[in-house]
Structure formats: C-alpha cells, structure tokens
A and B are shown apart, each in its own frame.
Chain A
Amino acid sequence: MNAHDLLWGMTPAHLPAGAPAWAKDAVGTVVVRRAIVAPGFVAVGVRGRLREQRFAALMPMAAVQRRVAPEALRDVVSTRDLPALQALDQLRPVLAPLSWGVTGSAGFELATGIEALHAQSDLDLILRTPEPLDRNDARDLLATLDEVTCAVDLQLQTPFGAVALREWAGPSRRVLLKTANGAHLVIDPWQAVA
C-alpha cells in the first residue's frame, strides 16, 4: 500500500463521529496518504467535490476490497476533452520508458469515472525514482513537461518520500521531502532523513 494508491471498500461506518456530512457520500473511493498509523490501518484521504472538501481518516486494512496504483492508470483513456487529459496523451510516449503513474484529480477521475477534473486542473503525476535523479536530468525532464498545454505537477518518489520535480530542477539547495513523518527540508532526497 503506497501513497496515492486508490482504495475501495471504506464505508461511512469507518468514519469518526466528527466527520463532515459530505465525507459519508465520498468514502466509496479513498486515496492513501503518507502517514504512520496503527497496525491494521491505512491512512487515507476522503475527497469531496469541492477543493476544500478533504478529510483525513483511517481505513481498516481488512475493509480494502480493491486497490489501484497510479501506474495502472497510465493507459486509461477518457472521452472527456480537458487540458489535463490532453497533457496526459502528449506525455504518455515521453514517459513510456519510465516507472510513472497518474495521481490527483486526473487519477481519481480515470479510476472512478467521477468527474473530478475541470478546465483549470493541473496534471498530477508520480515518477518512481529508487535511484537518485541527477539535477541536470531533472531540468531536462521538467523542460519536456513544460512544453505541454497544461501545468504538470510531477512528484519524484524516492525510497524516503516525495519531492517535486519542479523544485529538484530548481536552484534551491534544500528541497522539501514529504515523508510519512511529515515534511522536511533536505539536501539529498535519496538519503534517509536524520
């Protein structure tokens, strides 16, 4: 179970008493979050229709009926005509040799058929990078992504967390690594956080 995986099987009964009403209608498909939780549970995010409708919850592992990883959404074709989906079409051949997947609104929509994307949505992608990605190579990849018609937010998944390609390709010495223990500013995202 990894961050950005989509899970089916959660029910309103799994939500805590204080959960907002919209969350009960939205638990059908939830997104795995990066967080450390008690054994037997997985940290998930419930996403409602509005941008501010995000709710962090715990799902019992035993309730998981189906899991879809971002990689499984690479080749899902949508009939909707939106910039994020056009960008995905353009990038598929470019990214083909790499280990990548679709996350965020686009991933959610492709996996569920629920219309989560709109004309202003950016395209969220994840790239698995078990080995360090040179910062010059990051710049080249970013330049390629920036050629498409829509803003692309690609996260590099290192063994220790995720860092934005845009930041890794930029001039900042320290970059933000998002880990299960929270966010840290680090010099090398491919090194364990002290």
Chain B
Amino acid sequence: METLSFEFPAGQPPKGRALVGCVGSGDLEVLLEPGTPGTLTIQVQTSVNGAEQRWQHLFERMFQEQTPPALNIDIHDFGATPGVVRLRLEQGFEEVGHD
C-alpha cells in the first residue's frame, strides 16, 4: 500500500462534491470535493506499489487537454488500468459539475 500526492494548476472550485467508482479489483473509488481556487490536489492510495510515474503521466495528459476544476481528490485504487482511472475521473468531473 502506497500513498502518493499530486498537485496541478486548476480553475475555479465547483459547488458540489461527488463519490464515484467502486471498491474492488481493477477499479477505484474517487472522492471529489471543492478545493482552493487555482489548485487541484490529488491523493492516491494504491495497492500497486512503484507506479508514481504512471499516475503522474496519466494526470498530466488528462489536464493538458482541459484545465480541471479546483478540487481535492481522494483516490483509492485497487489496481485499475489507466483507461478505467480516466473514465472514473471524467465521471467524477461530470458529477461535481452537475450540482
């Protein structure tokens, strides 16, 4: 078990919070809460050790395409593939945006 921390430039915080995903092999649980304007922080707790670079690259690629909202994100990872991580984050962004 490993805990990783990341920080990225962001826009404004959304109003809502959201919990998406699922506890179970190959999946992840993502808690998204409004953060400080301009900053996105991500905490990843993962059962797969030694994957910090992979997370960093995945987040960089996602946030390059579109500036993310200012959030504090808590991720509990159970060995999800990058494709699943991406889907869950997009789902979470959508849900905080709806409120």
- In the complex the two chains form, is A167's CB within 8 Å of B47's CB? no
Chain B: interface residue total (CB-CB under 8 A)? 20
B51: chain A residues within 8 A (beta carbon)? 52
What total of A-B pairs shows CB separation below 8 Å? Answer: 46
Q: Which of B24, B26, B79, B91 is within 8 Å of A51, CB to CB? A: B79
User: Which range contains the number of A residues in contact with the other chain?
Assistant: 20 to 34
Nearest chain A CB to B84 CB, angstrom units:
5
Instruction: Tell me whether A182 is interfacial, beta carbon within 8 Å.
Output: yes
- In the complex the two chains form, is B81's CB within 8 Å of A52's CB? no
Nearest chain B CB to A45 CB, angstrom units:
11
Given A176-B84, A185-B91, A52 and B22 contact (CB-CB distance below 8 Å): no
- A-B pairs, top 7 by smallest CB distance, nearest first, are A153-B24, A167-B22, A183-B84, A164-B22, A164-B24, A52-B48, A182-B83
The interface of chain A, by Cβ under 8 A from chain B, is 51-52, 54, 104, 122, 124, 151, 153, 155, 164, 166-167, 170, 172, 174, 176, 178, 182-185
